[in-house]
Amino acid sequence: MNKIKLTLAATGLNNTDNPGPGIPVIRGIRESNAFDLRVIGLAYETLEPGIYMEDMVDKVYIIPYPSEGTEALIQRIEAINSIEKIDVLIPNFDAELFTFMKAEEKLVAMGIRTFLPTIEQFEERHKSNLPDFGKKYNIKVPESKPILNHSDIKSIKDDFEYPVMVKGKFYDAWVAYNEEQVRIYFNKISAKWGLPVIIQEFVKGTEVNVIALGDGKGNTIGAVPMRKQYITDKGKAWGGITLDAPEMLELTDHIIKSTQWKGGMELELIRTSKNELFVIEINPRIPAWVYLAVGAGQNLPEALVKLALGQKVEPYSKYDIGKMFVRYSWDMIVDLKKFEQISTEGEI
Amino acid sequence: MKVKKNIAISESGFVFDPSSGESYSLNPIGTEILEYLKKNMSFEEISPLILEKYDVDQITFERYYFDFVNSLQQFNLISNEQ
CB pair distance less than 8 Å for B18 and A243: yes
pLDDT at residue A192 in the model:
84
Kindly provide the b/e burial profile for residues A60-72, where b requires at least 16 CB atoms within 10 angstroms of the residue's own CB: bbbbbebeeeeee
Going by C-alpha positions, the residue among A91, A92, A122, A95 that lies closest to residue A107 is A91
CB pair distance less than 8 Å for B18 and A244: yes
| CB of A74 closer than 8 Å to CB of A106 | yes
Q: What is the mean pLDDT of residues A135-149?
A: 92
Shortest distance, CA B40 to any CA of chain A (angstroms): 23
Tens of pLDDT, residues A238-295: 999 999 999 999 999 999 999 999 999 999 999 998 889 999 999 999 999 999 999 9
CB pair distance less than 8 Å for B20 and A227: yes
pLDDT at residue A1 in the model:
67
CB pair distance less than 8 Å for A243 and B19: yes
Do A106 and A29 lie in one domain? The reply is yes
* Closest residue on chain A to B74 (Cα): A273
* Closest residue on chain B to A241 (Cα): B21
Q: DSSP label at A217?
A: S
| CB of A113 closer than 8 Å to CB of A88 | yes
pLDDT at residue A173 in the model:
86
Do A41 and A104 lie in one domain? The reply is yes
Residue B8 contacts A where some CB pair is shorter than 8 Å: yes
Smallest Cβ–Cβ distance between A229 and the set B8, B16, B21 belongs to: B21
CATH of the domain at A180: 3.30.1490.20
CB pair distance less than 8 Å for A322 and B18: yes
Shortest distance, CA A242 to any CA of chain B (angstroms): 7
Please give the residue range of the domain that contains residue A46: 4-115+331-345
Domain residue spans of chain B: 2-79
Tens of pLDDT, residues A167-217: 988 778 899 999 989 999 999 998 888 888 999 999 999 999 999 999 999
Amino acid letter for position B36 = Y
Least confident residue range of A135-149, A246-260, A277-291, A330-344: A135-149
Shortest distance, CA A240 to any CA of chain B (angstroms): 9
Q: Is residue A213 part of a domain?
A: no
| Residue A324 scores a pLDDT above 90 | yes
Count the neighbouring beta carbons within 10 Å of the beta carbon of residue A328: 6
Residue B6 contacts A where some CB pair is shorter than 8 Å: yes
CATH of the domain at A73: 3.40.50.20
Smallest Cβ–Cβ distance between B18 and the set A208, A240, A321 belongs to: A321
| Residue B82 scores a pLDDT above 70 | no
Instruction: Give Cβ neighbours of residue A299 (< 8 Å, ≥ 6 apart).
Output: A28, A31, A32, A293
Q: In chain A, which residues touch B (CB < 8 A)?
A: 206, 208, 226-227, 229, 240-245, 321-322
CB pair distance less than 8 Å for A229 and B20: no
Q: Is residue A50 part of a domain?
A: yes
Interface test with B, best of A208, A230, A244 (most B CBs within 10 A): A244
pLDDT at residue B81 in the model:
64
Do A103 and A175 lie in one domain? The reply is no
Half-sphere exposure of B12 (CA within 13 A, CB side): 5
Which residues of chain B make contact with A226, given a CB cutoff of 8 A?
21
Mean pLDDT score of chain A:
94
Shortest distance, CA A275 to any CA of chain B (angstroms): 11
Shortest distance, CA B26 to any CA of chain A (angstroms): 18
- Helix %, strand %, coil % for chain A, to 5? 35, 25, 40
d(CA A145, CA A155): 11
Do A62 and A107 lie in one domain? The reply is yes
**Number of domains composing chain A:** 2
| Residue A17 scores a pLDDT above 60 | yes
| CB of A29 closer than 8 Å to CB of A305 | yes
Chain A with chain B: Cβ pairs closer than 8 A: 22
Q: What is the mean pLDDT of residues A145-157?
A: 88
Q: DSSP label at A347?
A: B
Q: What is the mean pLDDT of residues A116-145?
A: 92
Tens of pLDDT, residues A92-109: 988 899 999 999 999 999
Q: Is residue A133 part of a domain?
A: no
Amino acid letter for position A21 = P
pLDDT at residue A203 in the model:
92
Pick the most confident of A60-74, A144-158, A328-342. A328-342
Tens of pLDDT, residues A58-93: 999 999 998 888 899 999 999 999 999 999 999 998
pLDDT at residue A12 in the model:
96
pLDDT at residue A95 in the model:
85
Which residues of chain A make contact with B6, given a CB cutoff of 8 A?
244
Shortest distance, CA B44 to any CA of chain A (angstroms): 31
Q: Is residue A234 part of a domain?
A: no
List C-alpha distances in Å: A145 to A148, A158, A271: 10, 12, 21
Q: Is residue A54 part of a domain?
A: yes
Residue B10 contacts A where some CB pair is shorter than 8 Å: no
- 3-state DSSP of chain B: CEECCCCEECCCCEEEECCCCEEEECCHHHHHHHHHHHCCCCHHHHHHHHHHHCCCCHHHHHHHHHHHHHHHHHCCCEECCC
